[in-house]
Amino acid sequence: MTDIFSAVDGYIEGLFAKEDEALAAAVADMKAAGMPGISVSPVLGRLLFVLARAVRARRILEIGTLGGYSAIWLGRALPEDGGMITLEVDPRHAAVARKNLVRAGLSEAVEVREGAALDILPRLIDSGEPPFDFIFIDADKEPYLDYFELSLQLSKPGTMIVADNVIRHGAVIDPARAENPAVAGVKRLSDALAAHPAVDATTIQTVGVKSHDGLALAVVREGR
Ligand code: SAH
Ligand code: DHB
Ligand code: MG
């Protein structure tokens, strides 16, 4: 994206989202492990933190851990007795994330659960897992709508569900890219959110060091 957006992102980061040693080391270790640089940015990590605080999240679910960068931001939003589960299909990613969470002092609060989200989520539902207050969807894009529907079954009124990467540099409004599986996946979720009776939802587009993308925000309604 243009320089001004990155520069302002740096300004916001300097005000609200400066990385401490644990976050900086997490980024360095992911890079050293050859993992893709697709964690949320510091400013978006801070946004997740503020949103989790806004709903006073005591129980957080994340779908897509990578190296635990967003998990550190979200884990830090938890109260002393809170807890978080984050799902990761790639054992190498999960191993790096666990190390990063230990260094951040969050290994007790945040559990990295290894496996495919479409396997783990139904098991959480069937085992009577209590509802989560905040859910962050950020794994593979094609099943985004499935992740949302399963997330709803792990929610209660007031639960905030956030989905990353729903704008994709504007690809979502480009007819030439409508068939791209990732684009189609996030669009399917956005269309469903716009019409869904169980949530009040919207999308914010984001710019900055991660270029142009967006977050879908949905809050579960009362008495659905
Ligand atoms: N939330 C992270 C970034 C996640 S990147 C952060 O911002 O720090 C997406 C992650 O989802 C990758 O680590 C990828 O391995 C994982 N993933 C992909 N498909 C998955 C699936 N089916 N189930 C669980 N995790 C999956
Ligand atoms: C990309 C970015 C993400 O935040 C993500 O979860 C997956 C992919 C990307 O830029 O390709
Ligand atoms: Mg993402």
pLDDT at 224: 61
Report whether residue 213 contacts ligand 2, using a CB cutoff of 6 Å.
no
Torsion sign (Cα): 84, 162, 196, 116: negative
Q: How far apart are CA 29 and CA 23, in angstroms?
A: 10
pLDDT at 41: 97
Give residue 120 CA to ligand 1 midpoint distance, Å.
Answer: 13
Instruction: Copy the structure tokens of residue 70.
Output: 């967003």
pLDDT at 6: 94
pLDDT in tens, 5-31: 999 999 999 999 999 999 999 999 999
Question: For the residues 77-88, what does the mean pLDDT come to?
Answer: 98
Report whether residue 165 contacts ligand 2, using a CB cutoff of 6 Å.
yes
Report whether residue 41 contacts ligand 2, using a CB cutoff of 6 Å.
no
- Quick one: 30 exposed, middle or buried, by C-beta within 10 A (0-12, 13-18, 19+)? buried
pTM for the whole thing? 0.98
Report whether residue 38 contacts ligand 2, using a CB cutoff of 6 Å.
yes
Q: Which ligand is nearest to the CA of 23?
A: 1
With a cut of 60, say whether residue 1 has pLDDT above it.
no
Q: How far apart are CA 11 and CA 83, in angstroms?
A: 31
Mean pLDDT of the chain: 97
Question: For the residues 54-78, what does the mean pLDDT come to?
Answer: 98
pLDDT at 115: 98
Question: For the residues 178-207, what does the mean pLDDT come to?
Answer: 97
pLDDT in tens, 45-62: 999 999 999 999 999 999
